[in-house]
C-alpha cells in the first residue's frame, strides 16, 4: 500500500530553514544526540513537538539500570537483559548498552546529576527481572526528571544547538534513498516549514496514546515511527508492546504509574479478598517480568469480575513518603495513605519495544536517517524490555547516534522540493475516531491477543484507514490520529503473523513459545 504524505501544502508558501543535524524530540535521547553531534562540531537544530521540557523522559520514575555496584558487572547486566528479551535481544547491542552505560552515568554525575546516595556511594534498588540491585534513582521516584534537569542546561548553553518549540513533524522528506529533511507544522504561526538537513535523528518517543489505558503523556502518538515508515524506513518488532502492571486506577484520576521499584522495596499485590496471589503465577512473585505480572493481574481481575487489584505497601510503612514522594503526593490527593491503605492498580500500555530498525550507531536503512530512544529498535530490548534499561538506552545510544549522524551528513540538499498531493475534503470527528481506535487497540492488541480478534481488528482498521488516512487536516490532532491509525494496523498485522507467545506478545490461541519457527524478527516496510 502506497501511503499519501500527510499534508497538502500546495496552496501555502512553505518556509525553509536548514541545519547540519536535525534532531526531532527533546527527551533524554534527543538531548544526548544533540550534545554529541554538537561536540563533533556540527550545527544542530533540536525540534520539540511541544515545549522543550515537555517529554515522556521527564515522567520516568523508577531509575536507571547500570552495573556500578561492587557486586555487579556488565556481564551480569548483559545476561539479565538477554533473558528478559526472550531470545530476540541482539547480544551486540546489549553489550554496547551494558559496557558503555557506566561511562554515561559517570558523565552524568560529572555534569551535576544528583542520584540518591547510600553513605559515600550510590544507592541501588532492585526491580523485576534483575538478578540483584542495580537501579540507581533520584529524589525517590524522579529519575527521569533528574536526567532532563542535568542535560537540558547543557543543550541550552551550547551555541551550536538551536532549539525550536512547537515544531510538529508532519513527514520526512526524501530524495531517492536519502532523507533530506523534515516537514513541520510550526505551532505558533500555524505555518508549514521545511527544515533541510544533512542528517536527521528521530528521538520522538513511543506510541502509548494508541491505547485506552496508558501511562504515556498526550505527546506519545508515534509520529516519528509513522513518518519513518511513510518515507520507506523499516520498522521492526511492532508486536512487542510492554504493559506496566501497576498503574493507579481510581475514577477521575490520571493513569499514574506506580513504579516497579515500589515492589522492589517490598510491596505485594493482593486481590479483592486481600489474597497475595503472585506466588501462584511465578516463583519470583512481584519481581517476575512485567508481562508475567500484567497477565497475572488480568487473570485475577477476570476471576473476581473486578476492575483492578491492589498494591499493598504497608510493609514499607512511613518510609514510603520519603522513598516515593511523587507517588505519595498523587495517591494522597485521593485520600489514600500507603502506610495504611491499599492502592488500587491495574495494567496499562507503557513502552514500545519495536520501532525504526537501526544498527548499534542508530542508523536506519535510509541514508542520513537515524533514530534513538523509544522510537528506535536497536535490538536492546528484544521481546520484552528489562525494567529501567530505557533511560540508559537513551543516554548510551543517544550519544552514539549523535556522533554517527554528525559524521554521516556531508551535504544539505539544495534542490527544489514539492509538497503536493490530492486529498479528500470532508468533516471527520477526530476525537471520536481516536476514542474508537483506543478502545479497539486496548481490547484486541493489548495484554492478551487472539487470532480471530486480530483479524476483526484489521478489517475494522482497514475500513477506518480507507477514509481517514486520506482526509485533509490542518492541525496536529488530525495528523496524530492518522499516525496512530497507521501504526495500529502494522501492530495488528505483526501480532497476527506471530503465531506464538513470546515476551510481551501473548496469544491465547498460541500460548507457547515456538523457537523453531519464531526465533526471528518481523519487519514492516512500505510497498
Active site residue 263: no
283, 304, 292, 380: which is closest to 78 by C-alpha?
A: 380
User: What number of H helices and E strands is found in the chain?
Assistant: 14, 19
Alpha-carbon dihedral sign for residues 114, 117, 119, 121 = negative
Reported for 73-82, long-range contacts at CB under 8 A and 24+ positions apart, including other chains, are: 74/98, 74/99, 74/101, 74/102, 76/131, 76/132, 76/134, 77/101, 77/134, 79/131, 80/129, 80/130, 80/131, 80/386, 81/380, 81/386, 81/389, 82/382
d(CA 222, CA 242): 15
Rg of the chain on CA atoms, in Å: 22
Q: What is the DSSP string of 21-60?
A: EEEE--SHHHHHHHHHHHHTT--EEEE-SS-TT--SGGG-
d(CA 207, CA 355): 10
- Cβ burial of 410 (10 Å; 0-12, 13-18, 19+) is exposed
Catalytic residue among 5, 134, 196, 290: 290
Beta bridge partner(s), residue 172 = 182
- In this structure, what is the dihedral angle of CA atoms 208, 78, 149, 351, given to the nearest 10 degrees? 0
3-class SS at 276? Answer: strand
d(CA 209, CA 221): 5
- How many other CB atoms are there within 10 angstroms of residue 443's CB atom? 15
Backbone angles phi, psi at 248, to 5 degrees: -55, 130
Positions marked active-site: 290
Amino acid at each position: 500500500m502506497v501511503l499519501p504524505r500527510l499534508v497538502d501544502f500546495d496552496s501555502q508558501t512553505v518556509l525553509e530553514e536548514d541545519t547540519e543535524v536535525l534532531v526531532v524530540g527533546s527527551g533524554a535521547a534527543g538531548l544526548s544526540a544533540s550534545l554529541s553531534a554538537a561536540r563533533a562540531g556540527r550545527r544542530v537544530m533540536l525540534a520539540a513537538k511541544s515545549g522543550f521540557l515537555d517529554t515522556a523522559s521527564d515522567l520516568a520514575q523508577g531509575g536507571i539500570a547500570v552495573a556500578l555496584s561492587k557486586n555487579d558487572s556488565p556481564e551480569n547486566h548483559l545476561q539479565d537483559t538477554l533473558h528478559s528479551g526472550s531470545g530476540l535481544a541482539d547480544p551486540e547491542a546489549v553489550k554496547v548498552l551494558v559496557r558503555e552505560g557506566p561511562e554515561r552515568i559517570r558523565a552524568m554525575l560529572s555534569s551535576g546529576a544528583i542520584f540518591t546516595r547510600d553513605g559515600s556511594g550510590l544507592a541501588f534498588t532492585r526491580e523485576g527481572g534483575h538478578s540483584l540491585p542495580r537501579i540507581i534513582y533520584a529524589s525517590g521516584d524522579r529519575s527521569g526528571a533528574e536526567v532532563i534537569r542535568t542535560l537540558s542546561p547543557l543543550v541550552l548553553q551550547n551555541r551550536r544547538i538551536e532549539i525550536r518549540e512547537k515544531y510538529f513533524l508532519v513527514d520526512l522528506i526524501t530524495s531517492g534513498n536519502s532523507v533530506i529533511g523534515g516537514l513541520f507544522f510550526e505551532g505558533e504561526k500555524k505555518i508549514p516549514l521545511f527544515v533541510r538537513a544533512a542528517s536527521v535523528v528521530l528521538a520522538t518517543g513511543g506510541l502509548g496514546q494508541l491505547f485506552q489505558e496508558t501511562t504515556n503523556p498526550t505527546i506519545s502518538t508515534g509520529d516519528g515511527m509513522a513518518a519513518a515508515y511513510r518515507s520507506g524506513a523499516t520498522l521492526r518488532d511492532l508486536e512487542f508492546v510492554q504493559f506496566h502492571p501497576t498503574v493507579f486506577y481510581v475514577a477521575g484520576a490520571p493513569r499514574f504509574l506506580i513504579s516497579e521499584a515500589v515492589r522492589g522495596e517490598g510491596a505485594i499485590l493482593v486481590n479483592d479478598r486481600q489474597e497475595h496471589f503472585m506466588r501462584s503465577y511465578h516463583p519470583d512473585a512481584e519481581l517476575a517480568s512485567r508481562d508475567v505480572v500484567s497477565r497475572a493481574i488480568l487473570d485475577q481481575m477476570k476471576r473476581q469480575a473486578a476492575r483492578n487489584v491492589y498494591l499493598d505497601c504497608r510493609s514499607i510503612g512511613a518510609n514510603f513518603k520519603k522513598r516515593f514522594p511523587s507517588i505519595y503526593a498523587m495517591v494522597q490527593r485521593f485520600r489514600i495513605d500507603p502506610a495504611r491503605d491499599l492502592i488500587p492498580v491495574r495494567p496499562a500500555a507503557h513502552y514500545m519495544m519495536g520501532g525504526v530498525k537501526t544498527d548499534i550507531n542508530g542508523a536506519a536503512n535510509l541514508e542520513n536517517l537515524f533514530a534513538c530512544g523509544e522510537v528506535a529498535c536497536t535490538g536492546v530490548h528484544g521481546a520484552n524490555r528489562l525494567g529501567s534499561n530505557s533511560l540508559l538506552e537513551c543516554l548510551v545510544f543517544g550519544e552514539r547516534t549523535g556522533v554517527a549522524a554528525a559524521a554521516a551528513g556531508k551535504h544539505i540538499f539544495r534542490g527544489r522540493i514539492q509538497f503536493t498531493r490530492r486529498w479528500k475534503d470532508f468533516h471527520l470527528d477526530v476525537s471520536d475516531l481516536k476514542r474508537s481506535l483506543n478502545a479497539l487497540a486496548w481490547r484486541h492488541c493489548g495484554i492478551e491477543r487472539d487470532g480471530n480478534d486480530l483479524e476483526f481488528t484489521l478489517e475494522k482498521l482497514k475500513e477506518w484507514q480507507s477514509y481517514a488516512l486520506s482526509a485533509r487536516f490542518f492541525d496536529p490532532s488530525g495528523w496524530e490520529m492518522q499516525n496512530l491509525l497507521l501504526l495500529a494496523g502494522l501492530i495488528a498485522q505483526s501480532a497476527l503473523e506471530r503465531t506464538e507467545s513470546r515476551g510481551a506478545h501473548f496469544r491465547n490461541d498460541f500460548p507457547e513459545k515456538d523457537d523453531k519457527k519464531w526465533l526471528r524478527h518481523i519487519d514492516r516496510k512500505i510497498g
